[in-house]
Amino acid sequence: MEETKHIKIKDFNYHLPDERIAKFPLAERDSSKLLLYRKGEVQEDTFVNLPQYLPEGTLMVFNNTKVIQARLHFRKETGALIEVFCLEPAVPHDYVLMFQQTRSCSWYCMIGNLKKWKSGALKRTVTVRGQEIELTVTRGEMHGNSHQVDFVWNSDEVTWAEILDAVGELPIPPYLNRETQESDKETYQTVYSKIKGSVAAPTAGLHFTERVLEALDRHGIDREEVTLHVGAGTFKPVKSEEIEGHEMHTEYICVNKRTIEKLIAHGGACIAVGTTSVRTLESLYYIGVYLAAHPDASEEELHVQQWTPYEYAEQTRPQGSEPDGRPEALTTVEALQNILDYLERNELNALHTSTQIIIAPGYTYHVVRMMVTNFHQPQSTLLLLVSAFVHGDWHKIYDYALEHDFRFLSYGDSSLLIP
């Protein structure tokens, strides 16, 4: 673990010219380039041909989160514009209940132009389904790096989901350096997005179209979905010299019982679409490990801490290795079975918890065998995750992409990584 904690983030830097950052998506999602990395070899194709590179009968897992229109703007009587960026539900804390709220709710928010909003309520009139609603916001206590903000509106019929849809703005990534456009409402969502809650898209999924999904089905690829609501922390740069000083953001995850059953049926192995799916799937292993020792834990207690994987690796020896006094690590199927047993004991159809996992060189993957992902920012935790997956070979992948005109970041091109 110490070796991982002392990784220097400057070793994960590369030159990314601004013109290589895709400011807008291609007209056809699946016409993006696809970089193929297979056991050290690199080649390229078009994304629409992805299914032919996947072994028949494997399981592919997607993140079905939906980006919410999380940015709200209010103008003070002085004329100052205040932006309230909803990050995570406060009251109620449950995402599903939150979007059903009428009259009031509270969120943890980032506030733009904070110095101009010292105190007092801000108001604006919004029109929802032909009704004029007065929306009032009041700033509360600090919560980490965000503020708790209370929203109140004068209607028992209009839900918070409807208010966001009416007046919220889709939060596209800051590095696009442009205003959100009407077209982003469609192009910055995956075609299979369902569960509202993210403030950033799981962008590896943006390349999939109905024809690619149908081709996967024809190719005998089993498909399942998980939910990880992507937080603004996904864009948080690593500012510490060593990654030990970087605190990972916490993200809410939900995995259905059926998905756990499918993973077990596939021997605990799958293809992950996107780093958010990777973080969810790999967290499952450590949730199963925790349940082995704490079978009666609450879902809240199943939260995966940042350094848990590395602590567990130090305390156990790999499966099948020579005895050295430490217990043998759980197999992936054993860990998943612990989750399934837990769900059945508690009569739950899905697991709802959270993760703060950091995946960096030194991490051993347990569930993910192949990964579909975009090209990530220099010195980011996502680049650390990729490096851990390809055993440090990320330079070869990124050098090829830069030399062959691949488009980078959220609206950029894709890769299939097979270590």
Q: What is the pLDDT of residues 95-134, one digit of tens each?
A: 999 999 999 999 999 999 999 998 889 999 999 998 999 9
Q: Evaluate if residue 260 carries a pLDDT over 90.
A: yes
Report the chain's terminal Cα–Cα distance, integer Å.
22
Model pTM?
A: 0.94
Give the pLDDT confidence of 29-80 residue by residue, as tens digits. Answer: 999 999 999 999 999 999 999 999 999 999 999 999 999 999 999 999 888 9
For Cα atoms 4, 203, 72, give the angle at the middle one, nearest 5 degrees: 105
**Model pLDDT, residue 234:** 74
Q: Is 42 exposed, middle or buried (0-12, 13-18, 19+ CB in 10 A)?
A: middle
Comparing 294-298, 323-327, 334-338, the range with the smallest average pLDDT is 323-327
**Model pLDDT, residue 79:** 87
Give the pLDDT confidence of 387-406 residue by residue, as tens digits. Answer: 999 999 999 999 999 999 99
* Residue 343, SS3 per DSSP: helix
Nearest alpha-carbon partner for 279 in 198, 377, 354, 197? 354
CB 220 within 8 A of CB 56: yes
**Model pLDDT, residue 98:** 96
**Model pLDDT, residue 397:** 98
Integer Rg of the chain from CA: 22
Tell me, what amino acid is at 17? P
Name the pairing type of β-strands 222-228 and 59-63. Answer: parallel
Q: Evaluate if residue 160 carries a pLDDT over 80.
A: yes
H or E element at residue 276: helix 275-293
Q: Evaluate if residue 288 carries a pLDDT over 90.
A: yes
**Model pLDDT, residue 199:** 93
- Work out the pLDDT band at 1, boundaries 50, 70, 90: confident
Instruction: Tell me the mean pLDDT in the region 150-164.
Output: 95
H or E element at residue 151: strand 146-153
Q: Evaluate if residue 272 carries a pLDDT over 90.
A: yes
> b/e for 72-103, b at 16 or more Cβ within 10 A?
bebeeeeeeebbbbbbbbbeeeebeebbebee
Instruction: Tell me the mean pLDDT in the region 289-309.
Output: 97
Q: Evaluate if residue 235 carries a pLDDT over 90.
A: no
Q: What is 37-100 written as a DSSP string?
A: EETTEEEEEEGGGGGGGS-TT-EEEEE-EEE---EEEEE-TTS-EEEEEEEEEEES-SHHHHHH
Instruction: Tell me the mean pLDDT in the region 283-294.
Output: 98
CB 253 within 8 A of CB 284: no
**Model pLDDT, residue 7:** 96
**Model pLDDT, residue 61:** 98
Secondary-structure breakdown of the chain: helix, strand, coil percentages, each rounded to the nearest 5: 35, 30, 40
